[in-house]
Every structure is written in structure tokens, then in C-alpha cells.
Amino acid sequence: MQVGGPFWDVPLGRRDSLGASIQGSNQGIPAPNNTLPTIITKFKRLGLNVVDVVALSGGHTIGLSRCTSFRQRLYNQSGNGLADGTLDVSFAAQLRQGCPRSGGDDNLFPLDVVSSTKFDNYYFKNILAGRGLLSSDEVLLTKSAETAALVKTYANDVHLFFQHFAQSMVNMGNITPLTGSQGEIRKNCRRLNNFH
């Protein structure tokens, strides 16, 4: 299924790892409840900037999230037993129907409630309407004037979002590339060269 979205040139000749490590790959990825300074720091450690943070977060326009990744927003965001005040009240009520206070950890919800199978800028429009699913989505609007300006810009200009997302994907692809005899240049990017 094609979801649409931007295109970009992927540099050829990259060396890919011969193995995968979920622990290694999750090490530097921001968690859904990280603060904005933590998220920005994790990106900056990899040579990425604030535009990359917001543009790449726009990848949440497709896909799903588990209840356990956003439950705190529904029931105890600030430790006071109440829902996150930035979350649209009707949206929070809708989410609570499938994400109870306990249990249902693996229940899935679209990251973009409007168009979860289409790569577009509704993710940003949802944030502006108080319908961003993850805390890490909401803080882009509420915790920094710089990131909030980008959220508003991308909500209004899908072409600029696509342009920035494509460049940020290239930037992310250039993080600590393998060199020399490390890894391999894949003949088919979906599997190891010697995989049968």
C-alpha cells in the first residue's frame, strides 16, 4: 500500500549492518513521554537540529501506537490523577474507551486520527486541535516557541513539510555510517546478501 508523501534521493553505496539489535536501535530514540529538551538533546547528539526534530516527528502521520505509550496523558499526566489539559476533551474520552486505566497495554490507536494511512500534514493539524496522541507530539506545540512555529508552518504548508521531512531523512541517514569492511552493501535492501 502506498501512503503518499515526499520523495528524496537515497545515497547509494551505504553499508548496512550485518545484525540488528532492538536495544541498540532503541537507545537513542526519544520515548513517547520524554520532555522536549530531552528529545532535542537526543537529536543534537546525533548531529540533527530542531527542524529535524519537528519534521521527523511528522512521520507520526502514519502508523499506530500502543495504549501503554500514551495512557499517562489520559489518567495522570501531571501526577494529579487528571488527564493532560492540552488534550481535546472529546478526543481523550474517545481514547479512554479503548485504553483503560489498567490493562489493554497492547491496544492500538492511530498516531494521526484523521488520516493514519496517508502521509500528509494532518499530524500537525491534529496537534493544533489538541488531538496529538503522544506527549512527545504535544510538547512540540506547548514547550517551545521555535518548535510551535514549525508545527504551525507545517500544518499550513504541506509542501514545506515534505521538503523538510525529505532533507531530515537524508540527514538521519548520514548518522554514523558504516565504513571500511563494516557491514555490507546490500544487493536487496530488504535482506542480507547471504540470506537464503
State yes or no: 38 annotated in a binding site. no
- Grid cell in block for residue 150: 514549525
Q: Are 95 and 70 in contact (CB under 8 A)?
A: yes
Q: Are strands 64-66 and 108-110 parallel, antiparallel or unpaired?
A: antiparallel
Three-state secondary-structure class, residue 24 = helix
C-beta separation of 98 from 70 below 8 A? no
- Residue 14 CA to chain centroid, in angstroms? 24
Dist CA 92 CA 97 (whole Å): 9
Distance between CA 49 and CA 41 in Å, rounded?
Answer: 9
Extract the C-alpha cell encoding 155.
500544518
| 120 carries a ligand binding annotation | yes
In the annotated binding site for heme b, the residues are 60
In the annotated binding site for substrate, the residues are 30
In the annotated binding site, the residues are 30, 60-61, 112, 120
In the annotated binding site for Ca(2+), the residues are 61, 112, 120
